[in-house]
Amino acid sequence: MRLNRLIPTLSLLIVFCFSSANADVLDDIIDRGTIRIGVAEFAPWTIKTKSGDLIGFEIDVGNKIASDIHIKTEFKVYVWDDIIPALQRGEIDVIAGGMAITPARALQVNFTRPIATSGVGLATHTKMTQDVATLGELNRPGTIIATVKGTLAENVCHTLFDQATVNVFQTRELAEKELLEGRAHAYLGGMAEIRYLVLQNGNNLDLPVSEPLLASSEALAVRKGEQELLNFLNAWVTARQTDKWLATTHDYWFSTLDWMPVDSE
């Protein structure tokens, strides 16, 4: 008799566990009415203005996703090296689209279809490298290269400049400061960021290579196992590529300077 009474309870428990195991964060996002998006400050992907507002390509992407679901956005800013752990801990639902797709990262997160292409660029300190004629001449003892920890640029640094000293920093601001203040001969970062940095500091910095040292594809990223959210975001990318929204928005931030008058830091 007791066993017969336990069977319905056990059946309900099995159904509950099965449902919980198959629940997807997309349902939580819709129920919550907010999507939590992780970003890191890299111009023009994400920029904090003097008033504390966030602007940039990633911010436009996040707001458009939320608008299409009829929910709100909550942006959380991280040091770049902390953003994947934050996703894995469940602090955020999505990493916005400035993350380059790499096999190593694909072991930690699930990437959507690419939303943009970019690459790694090189900025040099004009006075410190005035006697350097080729890229190969930077790769020698005594040359100091700055980059940001956990980025694709860091990997490229260690590959291309194995004879130089590579100094790795936690943030873009610290790495850029090393170059601007003459403590580094060169700085490797995202190509769009590098072009913007040189444009803003043309008296001291140079762009010796106009094309990316290494091209890459960028995508949104979600936690492993969040298949429904991944399916939705892939459909969203397809729709926004088809109607040219992604291309138009990307061109605004990466191919024009129309956003520069904004009081960004």
**How confident is the model over 96-132, as pLDDT tens digits?**
978 889 899 999 999 999 998 888 999 999 999 999 9
pLDDT at 16: 37
For CATH 3.40.190.10, list the domain ranges present in the chain.
25-117+216-254, 119-215
| pLDDT higher than threshold 50 for residue 6 | no
Higher pLDDT, 218 or 15: 218
> Considering only 17-31, 73-87, 121-135, 222-236, which range has the smallest mean pLDDT?
17-31
The H or E element that residue 55 is part of is strand 54-55
Banded model confidence at residue 263, pLDDT cuts 50, 70, 90: low
> Considering only 34-43, 234-243, 254-263, which range has the smallest mean pLDDT?
254-263
Which residues, other chains included, contact 261 with Cβ-Cβ below 8 Å and sequence gap of 6+?
none
The H or E element that residue 72 is part of is strand 72-77
Please give the average per-residue pLDDT across 25-32, as a whole number. Answer: 94
Banded model confidence at residue 261, pLDDT cuts 50, 70, 90: low
Other beta carbons less than 10 A from residue 122's beta carbon: 25
pTM: 0.72
Banded model confidence at residue 64, pLDDT cuts 50, 70, 90: very high
pLDDT at 23: 58
Banded model confidence at residue 219, pLDDT cuts 50, 70, 90: very high
On whether the CB atoms of residues 120 and 187 are closer than 8 A, the answer is no
- As a whole number of angstroms, the distance between CA 157 and CA 239 comes to 36
Tokens of 56: 């940039």
Question: Class for domain 25-117+216-254, per CATH?
Answer: alpha beta
On whether the CB atoms of residues 73 and 35 are closer than 8 A, the answer is yes
On whether the CB atoms of residues 205 and 198 are closer than 8 A, the answer is yes
Banded model confidence at residue 70, pLDDT cuts 50, 70, 90: very high
CA dihedral 121, 245, 78, 71 (to 10 degrees): 180
On whether the CB atoms of residues 49 and 55 are closer than 8 A, the answer is yes
Which residues, other chains included, contact 115 with Cβ-Cβ below 8 Å and sequence gap of 6+?
61, 97, 218, 219, 220, 237, 240, 241, 246, 250
Which residues, other chains included, contact 238 with Cβ-Cβ below 8 Å and sequence gap of 6+?
113
Tokens of 110: 């699930």
Which residues, other chains included, contact 242 with Cβ-Cβ below 8 Å and sequence gap of 6+?
none
CATH architecture for residues 119-215: 3-Layer(aba) Sandwich (3.40)
